[in-house]
Structure 1
Amino acid sequence: MAKHATLPPLHYPAREEITVEGVLRALADPVRLAIVRQLAGTEREISCSGLTVPVTKSTLTHHLSILRQAGVVVGRQEGTTRFNSLRRNDLDTLFPGLLNGVLAAPR
């Protein structure tokens, strides 16, 4: 019987651990902002392979890790696939209008 590779558990800060500085730092990168725009544009989760960004798979993993650690996105594991979604409710509760302002900025 073949063993399936298990991915390490993901760390997400609790809502009260999310800081505006961390969120802004995470959103300052154009690739991460593009990821957040894609997640904000849908009600569904998006798998890592479903994100359209001009970077390698390992670089995408790095960017998603930064977004997760800042509390901007959350992921769910299904087999070997990770599905990502925006922590919109948490961000809107903590920093009303911030995400809308960032997403409304010209590209």
Structure 2
Amino acid sequence: MRLNHYTFPKVIISSSGMCTVGRIRHHLKHNLWQSRNSLVFVGYQVEGTLRRKILDGIKKTKILGEDIVIESEIHDLKGFSGHADQKFLLNWISKFKKKPKKSFYSSWRREIF
């Protein structure tokens, strides 16, 4: 919630993939209406979810009881999955011509970031 008090640019990474529950709803409420922001989705969007509706181009939605006009730039990066495991990700990275200098591994979620 403190993020809402800062006006400097930031990257917010949130996990509720379909934008139906959790902190993502709060972040959307406080950031979707600002044209200086971008919202980047990766992975699949289930029909009927807020995430899918945003990608389909809705201009206004209700979030946490408040009407929000969508002014942010919306981006959809196809080809990513939130369900890839360590082995899959390491195999994927091994195919890069130019390898990343650094990656991060979360033992809690068993994923590479």
TM-score by length of 1: 0.29
Greater radius of gyration (CA):
2
TM-score (norm 2): 0.28
Bigger relative contact order, structure 1 or 2 (CA pairs below 8 A, ≥6 apart):
1
Select the structure that is richer in strand: 2
